[in-house]
Amino acid sequence: MTTATVHRVFNFSAGPAVLPLEVLESAQRDLVALPGVGMSVLEISHRSKPFEEICFGAEEDFKRLAGIPAGYQVLFLQGGATLQFSMVPMNLLPPDGTADYLDTGVWSEKAIKEAQKVGAVHVAASSKATNHDRIPGQGEVRFSERPAYVHMTSNNTIFGTQYHFVPEVPAGVPLVNDASSDVFCRPVDFSKFALTYAGAQKNLSIAGLTVVVIREDLLERAPAGLPVYLKYATHAKERSLYNTPPVFGIYVLRLVLRHLIAGGGLAAVEARNRRKAEKVYAAIDGSGGFYRGHARPDSRSWMNITFRLPSEELEKRFVAEATAQELSGLKGHRSVGGIRASIYNAFPEAGVDALVSFMAEFQRRAG
């Protein structure tokens, strides 16, 4: 097999997003027949030994890489982060309870809407008034009297903001985090979160897999009448094999986890991500106001970098000319406009360097 002839551009897609080339190449090499198995991972029973090895291996590697404490389970589910917007309140919000939400963007607001269908929701802090350009500080948060849980979104993919601290919540209240777009961007103390969920297609694997890390004491909170598939306890009891799981997503996750472990773990990932993000923010800050970042400096995301140019006309030109230079996927989301550079874990540093040079060159010509 040769990959030398395959040409890849720099892919700034917000999601599904770039995967490590090495992972794609392994998946390609072993797609037709897993070594020692003689059949594709797509063709074997999820109850077979080879698949159990992949699935439980992914679970163990995930726990090891992330340092998941005892008393937590890692679940491989389907339905995306979007199904978690519903499953979280269905499992954790009792009929007479209130759930507190930290509103930091479009995804938080979608989560709030779904929770409101299940019970009472209190928005404990919001950045909406300034078009979600920042993460509300701890001092602005007003919790309800006894929240059933507190929900946050650690990285706001659309607005380009990110929590760089773990919010403090009242003693004993479970903290739930939508980490879809920044999971594993650096080491995290999972013991601070009772439940973490992430759609896999940004930093972990491919679309179709959702990872949930749940503290075991939450498993039994679901009301008895909840459909079996929507209960976390169902999946925990069967180690994600209650029914046919998203086998290819789990397989690719395993490859990504091994790639991260071999590369020095999450501390190494953090150093690289910090350096990558700093380069782009330095280019914005050093442009004399030609490029204007959307996020306030203390809330800037390492994963999604959002910025504007002096006019929409120039933004259109920027995207078109960048695309012609093989910098793909830089058009911003309509809620912010302008440019969004998504530079997840697997986005190569060479692509960041190419973007930074392009930004300087574009400004020279247009500024």
Ligand X SMILES: *Cc1c(COP(=O)(O)O)cnc(C)c1O
Task: Pick between residue 118 and residue 283 the one whose CB is nearest to ligand X.
Answer: 118
Q: What is the DSSP string of 237-277?
A: HTTT-SS---HHHHHHHHHHHHHHHHTTHHHHHHHHHHHHH
One of 15, 174, 245, 293 touching ligand X (CB under 6 A)? 15
Catalytic pick from 103, 178, 276, 331? 178
**329 near ligand X (CB under 6 A):** no
Nearest approach, Cβ of 238 to ligand X (angstroms)?
22
One of 178, 204, 252, 343 touching ligand X (CB under 6 A)? 178
> Is 107 in the active site?
yes
> Rounded distance, CA 273 to CA 276, Å?
5
**205 near ligand X (CB under 6 A):** no
CB 187: neighbour CB atoms within 10 A? Answer: 14
Compute CA distances 154 → 16, 126, 176, 248, 322, whole Å. 18, 14, 10, 27, 29
**345 near ligand X (CB under 6 A):** no
> Rounded distance, CA 108 to CA 86, Å?
12
Amino acid at 226: L
Nearest approach, Cβ of 220 to ligand X (angstroms)?
26
**114 near ligand X (CB under 6 A):** no
**180 near ligand X (CB under 6 A):** yes
User: What DSSP state is assigned to residue 160?
Assistant: T
**88 near ligand X (CB under 6 A):** no
Catalytic pick from 63, 103, 182, 202? 202
Of 54-62, 70-78, 112-120, 175-183, the segment contacting ligand X by CB under 6 A is 175-183
> Rounded distance, CA 357 to CA 204, Å?
29
> Is 202 in the active site?
yes
Q: Where are the alpha helices (DSSP H) in 93-238?
A: 106-116, 232-237
Task: Pick between residue 73 and residue 157 the one whose CB is nearest to ligand X.
Answer: 157
> Is 178 in the active site?
yes
One of 11, 73, 144, 157 touching ligand X (CB under 6 A)? 157
Residues 6+ apart with CB under 8 A from 220: 233
Facing residues of 100 across strands? 122, 150
Nearest approach, Cβ of 334 to ligand X (angstroms)?
15
Of 36-44, 78-86, 214-222, 264-272, the segment contacting ligand X by CB under 6 A is 78-86
Residues carrying an active site annotation: 107, 178, 202
